[in-house]
Amino acid sequence: GAARTAELPLEGRHVVITAGGTREPLDPVRFLGNRSSGKQGVALARAAAAAGARVHLVAAHMEVPAPADMEVTRVETALELRQAALQAAAGADVVIMAAAVADFRPAEAAGTKIKKRDDAADPVITLVRNPDILRELVTRRSEQEAGPELIVGFAAETGDAEADVLEYAQQKLERKGCDLLVLNQVGKDLVFGQDTTTVTILDRDGSEPATVSGSKDATAAAIIERIGSELKPR
């Protein structure tokens, strides 16, 4: 018979990736947002698909289009992203939390446009905390003794020295309880606006952190390759 082609690293795996930045409404025309472009999440989704995975992208606001050849769920707020991510994670082998999730949302969104008035005080916005979706994914997995084999978190940290950044990332990895944490190094040595990024992958076992620099596509491919190597062979 025909020679069997070498199996791709994520062949037969179901990968859920959250990407982009959530938007928390203040009123029908305004929101609290963040600067996430979604580019890294989309690069990861493409790299995972190229590695043979069935990819489900849970996309908050992005400045780039979602790939056409995969399942995409659009969300706006952190609460919507939570629901979509938890639901999608139920049948997934890997969940990658690349989205920038708002830590807080306005306690209430006005039903009508907030108007400025000369006869009333300026508004004060009260924020309430959003649930930590990554922690919830980890907690659910341990409670149910079922769930994704690998849960991957992201962190963008700044620091005065690389050691501080890594230390901060290590603490985040422990606090979140995820299996891998990908640190986006945005320190002072790294020039903004360049097309190259530097990521460091930390794992729960405390292995030596692995740093990769290159284009967003190259770093995404390296992250996906590492994820593939962490999965138990079938």
Question: Nearer to ligand CTP by C-beta: 26 or 165?
Answer: 165
Of 7, 63, 103, 164, the residue at the interface with ligand CTP (CB under 6 A) is: 103
Residue 131 known to bind ligand: yes
Note whether 133 and 78 are within 8 A (CB). yes
Of 101, 183, 224, 227, the residue at the interface with ligand CTP (CB under 6 A) is: 101
Site for ligand CTP in 59-78 (CB under 6 A): 78
Residue 39 known to bind ligand: no
The three-class DSSP label of residue 87 is helix
Residue 223 known to bind ligand: no
- Annotated catalytic, 130? no
Question: Nearer to Ca ion by C-beta: 71 or 103?
Answer: 103
Distances (CA, A) of 187 to 157, 171, 183, 198: 8, 18, 11, 10
> How is the beta sheet containing 150-157 ordered, strand by strand?
71-74, 54-59, 14-19, 94-97, 150-157, 180-185, 196-203, 210-215
Active-site annotation holder among 11, 34, 149, 214: 34
Question: Nearer to ligand CTP by C-beta: 69 or 162?
Answer: 162
Strand partners, 154: 182
The three-class DSSP label of residue 91 is coil
Closest CB 164 distance from ligand CTP, rounded Å: 13
Closest CB 83 distance from ligand CTP, rounded Å: 13
Sequence ranges of the binding site for CTP: 103, 113, 131-134, 154, 172, 176
